[in-house]
Structure 1
Amino acid sequence: MKYFAVLLPMKDEEKSKEFRPAHLEFLARMKKEKKVVMFGRFADGAGGLVIYQGESLEDIESWVKQDPYVMNEARYYEIHEWDMVSE
């Protein structure tokens, strides 16, 4: 299993407010399915970060494109494979 850091920079603040509940529901579902490890917003309001786990970049991108923030153009996204160190 690989880890991927997904940055969600702010694109539209009003849309972000509008779609926040749906975004959080989506992430909760993905976490329950063990596709999301952790997530949170940046304290400065610039966006947020989601750590996904999956087999491939293609899998992760297909999931990210289902996020209400991305679907409704409230946020951009940027995906990076992440080599997590747990020590």
Structure 2
Amino acid sequence: TYGPDRVAGFSPIPAMSMVSYASGARYLSLIGGTCLSFYDWYCDLPPASPMTWGEQTDVPESADWYNSSYIIAWGSNVPQTRTPDAHF
């Protein structure tokens, strides 16, 4: 059978927008669903990142862009993921 306990969702992390997080979490709570965390949603990230790169979810900082001669932004949403750098 299908019921509210079969509903799972993901809301943006609170650091992105507290209103977006609260509205998504509240909606799931009202319908009886389960709100997944960032690491629940991206379940392969915690074990795969240290095995591949040797550290947990490390990303280069934007200052590294100046050291490159060629940048490919493949599947990147710079205004959402690099908010301080989006105005460049």
Q: TM-score, normalised by structure 2?
A: 0.28
Using the size of structure 1 for normalisation, the TM-score is 0.28
Q: Which has the larger radius of gyration?
A: 2
Structure number with greater CO (CA < 8 Å, separation at least 6) is 1
| Larger fraction in helix | 2
